[in-house]
Amino acid sequence: MFGYVAPLKCELKVRELALYNSYYCGLCKTIGRRYGEACKLVLNYDCTFLALLLCGIEGAVPCRQERCFYKPFLKKKPVAASSKMLEFASDINILLAYFKADDDWRDEHKLKGLAIKVILKGALSKAMKNSGDAYDAIRSGIALLSDLERSGCKEPDKPAEAFADMMRKILSLSPVKNDSDRAVLGHMGYHLGRWIYLIDAWDDRTADKKRGSYNPFNVINADKERASFILHFSVNEAVKAYDLLEIKDNKGVLDNIIYMGCSQKTEQLLEGDKG
């Protein structure tokens, strides 16, 4: 369900790609410092985007030359220094990963889900202390979503709405200083969350049909044309919200992700290309 919000790398300038990688590595190191090395396994692109976005609003963090713990023989590379924004993104990363794994284990008995739950068991309590309101929003959001899916909800907008509202609450809790920015972030999170849920559903529709799992597109027998309209509508609404934000830094990378990355991913999966 996560990992779709990523740049279209072939359109990034060299320095923009280096900046993106520095935040990806910075978030990885922040997760390691706050939750332990094993928890780095759940690092995802969506929370890297969140870190880039929040730092873009509040001001970019400095980069330091560091080596990767797992690649000690490679030369040092730029890594974004830890900050309140990266710490918040790391908390959200851990919480989303845990509840997604818990849902996978309970609903489909995926061994990967159980393994991730075990790895993140200690981290969960720390993340709950660090971001209690986000914990409550994610726990209740995933619970509602699971209930709707298990009941075979015939109105596919309802589970998409549940996930979208959860993402709205998460971004509304962002540690940015300006109240209006948080409100816009919430609106953006709603539509981006709706897109994430639906693009994942479209991506998994064939596999879900084979194993008899709930999928909103299978419920309504949606064809590619209908799915395209639904998905592009959500992306376009997220773009409208993004355009209301005053981005101070990281704008080139963020523009790439919002204007190109999400649309390209939509087209890629509509055409059946996993990439």
Q: Give the model's pLDDT for residue 75.
A: 82
- Domain of 247 in residue numbering reads as 9-270
pTM: 0.93
**What's the pLDDT at 272?**
83
134-158 pLDDT per residue, tens: 999 999 999 999 999 999 998 889 9
pLDDT tier, 249 (very low <50, low <70, confident <90, very high otherwise):
very high
Question: Does 30 score more than 80 pLDDT?
Answer: yes
In a domain, 1, yes or no: no
Rounded alpha-carbon distances, angstroms, from residue 187 to 137, 204, 244: 15, 26, 10
Q: Tell me what pLDDT residue 274 has.
A: 59
Instruction: Compute and round to an integer the Cα radius of gyration of the chain.
Output: 18
- Residue 178 within a domain: yes
| Average pLDDT value for residue range 4-23 | 96
What does each C-alpha distance from 76 to 10, 40, 65, 79, 267 come to in angstroms? Answer: 24, 19, 5, 9, 36
**Residue 4 within any structural domain of the chain:** no
- The kind and range of the H/E element at 63 are strand 63-66
CA dihedral 74, 44, 61, 52 (to 10 degrees): 130
Rounded Cα–Cα distance for residues 85 and 270 (Å)? 33
CATH classification of the domain holding 236: 1.10.600.10
Q: Is residue 130 part of a domain?
A: yes
Residues shown for the chain: 275
Residue 140 lies in a domain: yes
> pLDDT digits over 81-127, tens only?
989 999 999 999 999 999 999 988 887 788 888 999 999 999 999 99
Q: Does 135 map to a domain? A: yes
Inter-CA distances, 110 with 15, 107, 189, 247, Å: 40, 8, 28, 40
pLDDT over 80 (residue 73): no
Domain count, the chain: 1
Give domain status of residue 275, yes or no. no
